[in-house]
């Protein structure tokens, strides 16, 4: 009988330990269970996010990522009515790319001074609730916007009194800054719907219009030495894609291209690589206005290899194409690029 009582006591202890362990895996207070299972909804003043992770920091980051994802979805659905879409007009390819970039940026929202409202550790993972002040978040992006806008206005003063080709050089810089603002406006309008962007809209549309008109005024003529024939053809093609015009007589910008190159072989255990002949090229791209004044002098240094000899290596354009894809054709012919 005594033995049976001991067995019963042992089984009772096992059952109690099992029940106690199971209870530890559940929220110990109903408040935690409430915000974990039913997070508070966003308000005009705050965003709320719930996340979980192995650490409290991981959980917080996941909660913020949840908020960013919701902002991104909103940006995506409202982009066609944004200032950026209005400025860019009806160029569907450009609009599609800008929209894709903005939606991506919205997923990478920059947060600061975000505290944790609630947290709960179930022994395996952390759960946190964060609250983000929308006014503070919007202020971060408005500050960024104002800084870029100030730089744009400064450059525009110079642009307004510049020559035709100087405007081309400046337009590349101004367009890059306008593109930067395209990442801010749609995000700000989602975070702070009452943000007034009208004072920017008229100016930015005017900037874009005048830049296009300045580009329409340009007529190019391209001259090159024998070493630069393929590059000259590439530059003409890239400028044509940007809708620039060409004429051998009625031009107002003359582009002169010269390339000096040295042939080299590079020792290698790889037989195919060892057979390559390399052209180490220094290319000068000069631009002259219609009075004959040199207005730009760009230097591009590249190397290109070919198993078919020096002449073939010299005319290969892949390295030039990579620079143009990265920097743009206007930057390429006006600023050059020292990267190989």
Using pLDDT thresholds of 50, 70 and 90, give the confidence band for residue 90: low
Q: Is residue 240 included in any domain, yes or no?
A: yes
Does residue 117 form part of some domain?
A: yes
Q: What is the dihedral angle through the alpha carbons of 197, 202, 203, 206, rounded to the nearest 10 degrees? A: 150
pLDDT band (50, 70, 90) for residue 333: very high
Q: Is the pLDDT of residue 20 over 50?
A: no
Domain that holds residue 259: 219-335
Q: What pLDDT is recorded for position 336?
A: 67
Are residues 207 and 230 both part of a single domain?
no
* 160 in any annotated domain: yes
Residue 228 sits at φ, ψ, to 5 deg, of -115, 15
Decide: pTM greater than 0.75.
no
> Which pLDDT belongs to residue 301?
94
Q: Where does a domain end: 217, 252, 279?
A: 217
- Within 13 A of 191's CA, how many CA atoms are on the CB side? 24
Alpha helices (runs of H) in the chain, residue ranges in sequence order = 2-24, 30-37, 56-78, 83-88, 92-106, 134-160, 164-182, 185-191, 198-216, 229-241, 271-274, 310-315, 318-327, 329-335
Residue 60 CB contacts under 8 Å (≥ 6 apart), including other chains: 51, 53, 114, 116, 128, 130
Q: Could you report the per-residue pLDDT of 268-284, keeping only the tens digit for each?
A: 788 777 789 999 999 99
Mean pLDDT throughout 10-19?
Answer: 42
Residue 7 confidence (pLDDT) above 60:
no
Residue 3 has pLDDT above 60, yes or no: no
Q: Return the axis-axis angle of helices 318-327 and 229-241, rounded to nearest 10°.
A: 30
In a domain, residue 320? The reply is yes
Answer yes or no: is 147 within a domain.
Answer: yes
Instruction: Based on the fold, state whether residues 38 and 149 are members of the same structural domain.
Output: yes
The number of domains in the chain is 2
Q: Does residue 280 share a domain with residue 230? A: yes
pLDDT at 23 over 50: no
Task: Give the rounded percent of residues in the chain with a pLDDT score beyond 70.
Answer: 88
**205 shares a domain with 270:** no
- Domain presence at residue 10: no
Helix axes 134-160, 164-182, angle to 10 degrees: 170
Q: Which of 128, 126, 136, 313 is nearest to 230 (CA)?
A: 313
Same domain, 36 and 169: yes
Rg (CA), the chain: 31
Query: Does any domain span residue 67?
Result: yes
Distance from the Cα of residue 76 to its chain's centroid: 16
């Amino acid at each position: 009988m005594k033995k049976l009582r001991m067995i019963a006591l042992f089984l009772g202890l096992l059952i109690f330990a099992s029940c106690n362990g199971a209870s530890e895996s559940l929220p110990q207070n109903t408040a935690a269970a409430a915000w974990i299972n039913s997070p508070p909804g966003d308000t005009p003043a705050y965003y709320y996010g719930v996340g979980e992770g192995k650490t409290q920091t991981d959980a917080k980051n996941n909660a913020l990522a949840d908020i960013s994802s919701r902002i991104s979805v909103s940006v995506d659905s409202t982009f066609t009515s944004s200032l950026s879409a209005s400025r860019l007009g009806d160029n569907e390819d450009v609009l599609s790319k800008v929209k894709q970039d903005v939606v991506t940026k919205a997923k990478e929202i920059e947060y600061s001074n975000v505290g944790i409202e609630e947290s709960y550790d179930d022994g395996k993972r952390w759960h946190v609730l964060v609250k983000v002040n929308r006014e503070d978040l919007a202020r971060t992006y408005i500050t960024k916007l104002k800084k870029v806008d100030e730089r744009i206005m400064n450059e525009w003063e110079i642009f307004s009194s510049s020559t035709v080709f100087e405007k081309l050089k400046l337009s590349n810089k101004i367009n890059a800054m306008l593109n930067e603002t395209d990442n801010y406006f749609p995000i700000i309008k989602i975070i702070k719907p009452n943000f007034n962007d009208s004072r920017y809209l008229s100016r930015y549309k005017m900037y874009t219009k005048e830049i296009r008109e300045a580009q329409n005024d340009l007529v190019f003529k391209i001259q090159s030495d024998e070493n630069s024939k393929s590059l000259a053809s590439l530059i003409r093609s890239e400028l044509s894609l940007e809708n620039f015009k060409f004429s051998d007589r009625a031009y107002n910008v003359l582009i002169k291209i010269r390339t000096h190159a040295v042939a080299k072989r590079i020792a290698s255990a790889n037989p195919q690589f060892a057979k390559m002949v390399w052209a180490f090229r220094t290319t000068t791209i000069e631009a002259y206005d219609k009075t004959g004044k040199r207005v730009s002098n760009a230097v591009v240094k590249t190397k290109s290899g070919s198993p078919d000899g020096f002449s073939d290596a010299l005319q290969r354009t892949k390295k030039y194409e990579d620079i143009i894809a990265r920097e743009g054709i206007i930057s390429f012919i006006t600023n050059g690029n020292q990267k190989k």
